[in-house]
């Protein structure tokens, strides 16, 4: 799925000459964690985040007199003095997978979306991506997540999908965990039914092992014999 379909299009931005206190008030009133900083023509020149603001604002341990002095100093601080220049960005034609990898590697919560001239056309956050993945995986519709353990031969996913389809069950998605144990993979089909007895029996008859999905998540924390 492309970012263009999941990004927030109405982006609140701020200019580099705006004051730090103005940026804080904008984030507070808009309920957003970051502000793309744009120059002439809407071209992205930086980004300022609530983390940047917290690092610059007075500590709660200061006395009222000290806070007053700090406020006077902060009134002279411009966004350009605090922003991250040339932030990591994505284009509308990038995929959600691209954005997720960049967010994890850059340790950020949002990414500005820019066109070929680096003009801001949107912004995408982890929340946006989670909502998009919920739609892609079909998780908003009631169903059941199975955990099917299989060897690493080609064609195993097709066998699982065929079994589900032949039982007349609609399939929402299939995720794959490549590293279960050596030579094995765990497949996670999300099926639109809560009546799973027949499909589980069919998969076991085909030679697959069925596990509780929670076992896969807990496996790294359990001691190996």
pLDDT band at 216 (very low <50, low <70, confident <90, very high): low
User: What phi and psi values does residue 152 have, to the nearest 5 degrees?
Assistant: -90, 25
Regarding whether 154 and 127 lie in a shared domain, the answer is no
Return the pLDDT at 61.
43
146 and 95: one domain?
no
- Polymer length of the chain: 225
Question: Do residues 129 and 150 both lie within one domain?
Answer: no
Alpha-carbon distance 204 to 16, whole Å? 62
Q: How many CA atoms lie within 13 A of 140 on its CB side?
A: 7
Q: 0.75 cut: is pTM over it?
A: no
Which helix (H) or strand (E) element contains residue 173? strand 171-177
CATH label of the domain that carries residue 157:
3.30.70.260
**Beta strands of 29-94 (E only): which ranges?**
34-38, 44-49, 84-85
Rounded distance between C-alpha atoms, residue 67 and residue 71, angstroms: 6
Stated as kind and residue range, the H or E segment containing 36 is: strand 34-38
| Domain identity same for 186 and 117 | no
Element of type H or E holding 124: strand 120-125
Distance of alpha carbon 196 from its chain centroid, rounded? 30
pLDDT bin (cut points 50, 70, 90) of residue 66 is: low
Structure tokens at 166: 């032949």
Same domain, residue pair 149 and 113: no
Residue 192 DSSP symbol: S
Domain stop point among 81, 105, 134: 134
3-state secondary structure of 47: strand
Q: Which residue has the tokens 């912004």?
A: 123
CATH of the domain at 123: 3.10.580.10
Residues 63 and 170 in one domain: no
Provide the token pair at 38: 């744009």
pLDDT band at 182; cut points 50, 70, 90: confident
At 211 the pLDDT is 86
Count how many domains the chain has: 2
When the pLDDT of each residue in the chain is averaged and rounded to a whole number, the result is 86
Q: Which domain holds residue 92?
A: 3-134
């Amino acid at each position: 799925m492309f970012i263009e379909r999941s990004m927030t299009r109405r982006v609140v931005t701020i200019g580099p000459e705006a004051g730090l206190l103005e940026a804080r008030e904008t984030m507070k009133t808009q309920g957003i964690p970051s502000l793309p900083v744009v120059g002439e023509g809407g071209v992205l020149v930086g980004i300022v985040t609530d983390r940047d603001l917290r690092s610059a604002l007075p500590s709660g341990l200061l006395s009222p007199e000290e806070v007053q002095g700090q406020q006077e100093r902060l009134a002279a601080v411009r966004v350009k003095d605090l922003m991250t220049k040339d932030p990591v960005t994505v284009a509308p034609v990038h995929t959600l997978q691209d954005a997720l990898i960049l967010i994890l590697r850059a340790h950020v919560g949002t990414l500005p979306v820019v066109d070929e001239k680096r003009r801001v056309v949107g912004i995408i956050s982890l929340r946006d991506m989670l909502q998009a993945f919920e739609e892609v995986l079909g998780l908003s519709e009631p169903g059941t997540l199975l955990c099917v353990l299989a060897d690493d031969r080609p064609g195993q996913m097709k066998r699982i999908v065929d079994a589900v389809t032949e039982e007349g069950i609609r399939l929402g998605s299939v995720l794959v965990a490549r590293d279960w144990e050596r030579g094995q993979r765990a497949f996670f089909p999300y099926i639109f039914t809560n009546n799973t007895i027949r499909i589980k029996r069919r998969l076991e008859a085909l030679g697959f092992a069925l596990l509780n999905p929670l076992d896969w998540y807990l496996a790294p924390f359990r001691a190996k014999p």
